[in-house]
A and B are shown apart, each in its own frame.
Chain A
Amino acid sequence: MSLDLPLTRNVRPDRSPTDFAAYEANGGYRGLRAAIGKLTPAECLQVIKDSNLRGRGGAGFPTGMKWSFVPMDDAAAGHKYLICNADEMEPGTFKDRLLLECDPHQLIEGMICAAYTIQADIAYIFIRAEYHRAEKLLREAIAVCYEKGYLGRDILGSGYRLDMQVHSSAGRYICGEETALISSLEGKRANPRAKPPFPQVSGLWGRPTIVNNVETLCNIHHIIERGADWFQALGLTEDAGTKLYGVSGRVKKPGCWELPIGTPIREIIERHAGGMEDGYQLRGFLPGGGSTDFLTPDHLDLAMDYGTIGKAGSRMGTGTMIILDDKTCPVGFVKNLMEFFARESCGFCTPCRDGLPWSAQVLDDIENGRGRPEDMHTLARQVEFIGAIGNTHCALAPGAMEPLQSAMKYFREDFERHISGGACHFCEGGAH
């Protein structure tokens, strides 16, 4: 069976980048020609709404609905911004790098179509500093687009003008949170902002701003060119399109693949990732990056889509799974994540700034044989308080609690054995 996989059709096995000529030869910039000057922005927005595309950055918010809040009347005269979130730092997430390094023009075409739809006149690609190769490729690709008349004033003679720039960041995971990203683009500390006002109305320099993930934006021109029905039909379940899924940890062939959304988890782990490495068993997995709740082998037959994973008590997040094997300590696993989140807290609000290091300390005590029985209660209280949406200024802290709370549910005996035995039962002979 040959699948229709629009996002990775230019991805080569050696991951060498597809240049402008090769991109156009393979049908590139047809979506842009179908949109600009042919469809009105309102028509483009309707196609994206009808397609049921949901954001691929982790939260899964419907893209068309998000864009519909951007003011389009004359009162909106002045700059409007489109920002591509290429900050990719969620632990265990390695999908945007593939799109950025292998097919930079795809992202640019998607961004031009997205910007046209919301009538933005300036677009930024906010990319993490460590993605040097992708940054260079994007800068080159943008220069080619200016030469070809796909960027700049009067694109394709339509009168529409768009400028595009790359902003290379300076580190810190919180920059990926969309309002923190905006603060950072303004040259400030990357503290998230209170909503409302939402960025769609008052974002970068107080102007209407849309922030979308790389993978989300890579879909836009395909949908505009081929239609909402085509996109809907790509999905195997009620969600639409394809998704980049990844698997890392002790599997035979860790990797990242574009598959129809709703592909069963078992197929992703066993067929695409080749199943567990010899000598290792699957104990659990985080389905979509470091801030999603654990699922277990009992969930292997679930469809990997937003609704199904949500009902199972987790989130599809970024769609890149992290495998917990039977020789890796679940307490150590969660401790690694908690130390990460504690380090990356922006420090703005107390439950996160002071709470996460406390959780990390309790986990460190348990992992190193200093745990006390009441620590389980302390952790449960922290989950309850820090994990509640609304107690913190942004979603970093609740996200940090997701792996912890589910580990305490599914691997409780491991926590208790650390405490009663005064040692980690994985350290001797195990990986950790």
Chain B
Amino acid sequence: MSELIQALSAQEIAGIDAEIAHVPYRSAVAIEALKIVQAHRGWVSDESLRAIARHLHMSAEELDGVATFYNLIYRRPVGEQVILLCNSISCWIKGCDKIQKRIQEQLGIGLGETTSDKRYTLLPVTCLGACDKAPVLMVGEELHENVDTHSLSRLFDDGGGTSE
């Protein structure tokens, strides 16, 4: 038990247990549990994964199968903020490739990469349901519409770091 408490905070355990109260069996909250831990730590390490699996009475392998299925569960460290760049069709028509290139120039990161100062990670995302405002991207929880090079400069004006 002491080992478990080391890997998951009391707050995390309380959050997960509150979810367990709503479902017929513990492993049913696998996704919520992963999201709770990720909200606290930014990502899900192997250690966290094992601790969650034990808490849910499932094998770490099975939980990892769930974790790696979902693109918004991060099994590797990400920057303080994740940039989700929509590269689906309407944003492609409106030039998301150019936006991606501009981000590469400005922050020095391509898809899947993190700036060396660990501030930003850039990931592609499925159509964000804002196609009439294409191209769009999210920074953290914030949606940015009709993005162009000017708005990108404003968004990341202090440049961020360069990728390694």
Contacts and interface: CB of A to CB of B under 8 A. Distances in A.
Contact of B141 (A89, A132, A325, A332): A132
Nearest to B63: A187
Nearest to A88: B129
B66 A93 contact: no
Nearest to B38: A170
Interface stretch (B23-31, B100-108, B113-121): B23-31
A94 B89 contact: no
B156 interface: no
A249 B94 CA distance: 7
A23 interface: no
B24 A249 contact: no
Interface string A285-314: 000001000000000000000000000000
Interface residues of B, number: 41
A91 B35 contact: no
Contact of A92 (B22, B66, B90): B90
A246 interface: yes
B4 interface: no
Given A93-B129, A431-B93, A187 B27 contact: yes
Interface in B1-45: 22-24, 27-32, 34-35
B138 A130 contact: yes
B127 A93 contact: yes
Interface in B113-164: 125-134, 138, 141, 143
Contact of A91 (B24, B71, B89, B133): B89
A336 B128 CA distance: 15
Contacts of A96: 129
A211 to B, nearest CB: 17
Given A130-B138, A173-B126, A189-B65, A93 B24 contact: no
B95 A171 contact: no
A268 to B, nearest CB: 13
B126 A336 contact: no
A195 interface: no
Given A184-B31, A187-B29, A431-B93, A172 B130 contact: no
Nearest to B97: A432
Given A89-B126, A170-B31, A173-B126, A246 B132 contact: yes
Contacts of A249: 90, 93-94
A187 B35 contact: no
A249 B91 CA distance: 8
Interface string B62-94: 000110011111000000000010011110111
A340 B97 contact: no
B89 A322 contact: yes
Given A170-B72, A187-B29, A337-B89, A89 B127 contact: yes
Interface in A246-298: 246-250, 254-256, 290
A172 B71 contact: yes
A173 B124 CA distance: 13
Contacts of A346: 69
Given A187-B66, A189-B65, A333 B31 contact: no
A199 B27 CA distance: 21
A275 B35 CA distance: 43
B28 A186 contact: yes
A71 B32 CA distance: 30
Nearest to A347: B69
A167 B66 CA distance: 16
B88 A336 contact: yes
Contacts of B130: 94, 97
25 contacts: A89-B127, A90-B127, A91-B88, A92-B90, A93-B129, A93-B131, A128-B129, A129-B35, A129-B72, A130-B138, A171-B70, A186-B28, A187-B31, A190-B69, A205-B28, A246-B131, A249-B94, A250-B94, A254-B134, A255-B132, A322-B93, A333-B93, A336-B88, A336-B92, A340-B89
Interface of A: 88-94, 96-97, 128-132, 165, 167-173, 184, 186-190, 205, 246-250, 254-256, 290, 320, 322-325, 328, 332-333, 336-337, 340, 344, 346, 431-432
